[in-house]
Structure 1
Amino acid sequence: MAAKSFRWHIPVFLAPAVLVYTAIMIIPLFGTLNLSLYNLDGQNRIFVGLANFKTLFGDPRWSASFWNALGNNAWFFIVHMLVQNPIGVLLAAILSSPRLRMAAFYRTAIFVPAILSFVIVGFVWKLILSPIWGIAPGMLDWVGLKSLYLPWLGKEAYALTTLALVSVWQFVGIPMMLIYAALLNIPQEVLEAAEMDGITGSSQFWKIKLPLILPSIGIISILTFVGNFNAFDLIYVSQGALAGPDFATDILGTFLYRTFFGFQLQLGDPHMGATIATAMFGIILIGVCIYLFAIQTRLRRYQF
């Protein structure tokens, strides 16, 4: 039996993507890891090993900012998990109903914000919520709830949650579309068998559809985790690099930006910036590994 010939077209077609990915992702990643192991001694760059990480986690001047940013990042992620993803699942379940009219229009309308620029979204919502010229006070007054209005972006207790909900509004269409596609891929024979057993409506969703789309929900969850711990744009556009008020909206992305590039009177420190970026990479890597080895393997039993 003749050996199979090598399929040259596979590496040929993969090569451009691999080269581009290596140039803009892999090489900068290793460059960042290398930069975090050095520091400046006058004009000379010296190898310091893990000393920068010791400074980041042990020096109160750095650790207080780092843990504040990490805590804010965690809350940013929790809001998305508890609000965005359940709403996305609910919308997908509703839009997948064959009885719903104009479903394509609703899907498009909900998904459109996800393709808008962070700059546009941040600027527009900052205008909407402004206590001076925003329309939010007027809209609440129109429904008799003006007493509930607060300058949310200016209060430490509410600013981060407000921006997280703005992000939810922008990106809820992504989990909706992924879950919608998963629901459409459920074999019709399974649903027909459930109907013959008298399982219909919401009961069919909870007992039949939901277990079958759990792998998709798991993928959405890890994408949400990675995206939220890489977040930067919306906070920067809305609150600036200082992530006010009083660093209440400071996340790892804005902390990294100020450290690496400097801001106002603060000089940039590329080595400590690279250390923060490496810490972010480690956090995301640990989260992805936990998902792949502890969660995804358990969800496979629901797949066909």
Structure 2
Amino acid sequence: MSDRARKRPFRWHIVVFLAPAVLIYTAIMIIPLFGTLNLSLFARAEDGSRVFVGLANFQTLFGDPRWSDSFWNATSNNLWFFVIHMLVQNPIGIALAAILSAPKLRFAAFYRTAIFIPAILSFVIVGFVWKLILSPLWGVAPTFMDALGLGDWFAPWLGLERSALTTLALISVWQFVGIPMMLIYAALLSIPDEVLEAAEMDGITGTSQFWKIKLPLILPTIGIISILTFVGNFNAFDLIYVTQGALAGPNFTTDILGSFLFRTFFGFQLQLGDPHMGATVATVMFAIILVGVSIYLFGVQTRLRRYQF
């Protein structure tokens, strides 16, 4: 047979099945992305026309103190927001998954559902409810802490500059801890029974089995959770806006890149919106996320493949 006859026919059905997803993704993701990148290279002239300025907007964002101070404040707050999720949310999610995967635990399905429910709630509901709970005037938190003898420990955490951002991060942890819990839970269930039986024959049981056998085997899933946490936190906006408003009070201490982008693009109160500078901020956010994801894909994931089945 000739080489041409040996070639496999082109699989058109693959194109047919992929085309809708590719078209939708292109329409709502790729085209807006390039539109944003293009918008960041222009500025508004005095007569209202668009003028190509190249990278001048980025120079303004990083070099002009009126912009750079707000940008670096939002970036550092966003980094702290992410660190709290990594140090609190994901370890708690791993611990909950380990507990709920115990075969002898009763009502495990109920506990999983109860923990995961906040993740499907609206940001508006979560933000409004927690503002009511933590309110020093009509919230239940002061009364509850008084009943426990901890009344002196209560403070208006959402209204204090030193605690507002951390409080919001912990509220976000409460809302989304169910996601890493369920992913880790699924990873633990996927471990072959033969591996666990072999460990038990070697005398490795209980907590020791989790640290020596299960944890190394779920490292790829933990890596995926970490990068999802990174992307989600550097795209965060809703909770800050609902609880603290567009100005991200008090005194911009809860301002993150998402809220900074909102004020820059659309404007707020006395600040006029500038779509071109807003697109510049969005482009920088995209670059930060792209760098973080690239580091994970090329620096971390390749090393975790040895633990995959």
- What is the TM-score when the length of structure 2 is the normalising length? 0.97
Matched, 1:83 2:83: no
> Which of residues 286, 289, 297 in structure 2 aligns to 1:284?
289
In structure 2, the partner of 1:16 is 20
Q: Which amino acid aligns with 1:103?
A: A
Matching of residues 202-241 of structure 1 within 5 Å: 202-241=207-246
Provide the aligned C-alpha RMSD in A.
0.8
Q: 1:111 matched to which residue of 2?
A: 116
Unmatched segments (≥5 aa) in structure 1 = none
C-alpha distance after superposition, 1:69-120 (max 9, x if no partner):
0000000000000000000000000000001011111000000000000000
Shift in Å, 1:6? 2.5
Encode CA deviations 1:12-38: one digit per residue, 9 max, x unaligned.
Answer: 121111111111111000000000001
Q: Specify the code of the residue in structure 1 equivalent to 2:296.
A: Y
1:284-304 C-alpha deviation (Å, 9 max, x unpaired): 000000001111111111112
Q: Which one of the candidate residues 159, 171, 177 is aligned to 1:172? A: 177
Superposed, 1:139-178 pairs within 5 Å as 139-178=144-183
Q: Does 1:36 align with 2:43?
A: no
Partner of 1:258: 263
CA shift digits 1:32-75 (9 cap, x unpaired)? 00000010121221111111001000100000000000000000
Corresponding residue for residue 25 of structure 1: 29
TM-score normalised to the size of structure 1? 0.99
Deviating more after overlay: 255-264 vs 4-13: 4-13
Deviation at 1:3, TM superposition (A): 3.4
Question: Identity of counterpart residues, as a percentage?
Answer: 81
Secondary structure at the counterpart of residue 249 of structure 1: coil
Cα deviation, residue 166, structure 1: 0.3
2: CA distance between counterparts of 1:138 and 1:296? 48
Task: Give the number of equivalent residue pairs.
Answer: 304
Deviation of 1:7 (Å): 2.3
Q: Partner letter of residue 274 of structure 2?
A: D
In the alignment, which residue of structure 2 is the partner of 1:249?
A: 254
Letter in 2 for 1:45: R
Corresponding residue for residue 7 of structure 2 = 3
Name the structure 1 match of 2:61. 56
**Could you say what secondary structure the match of 1:100 adopts?**
coil
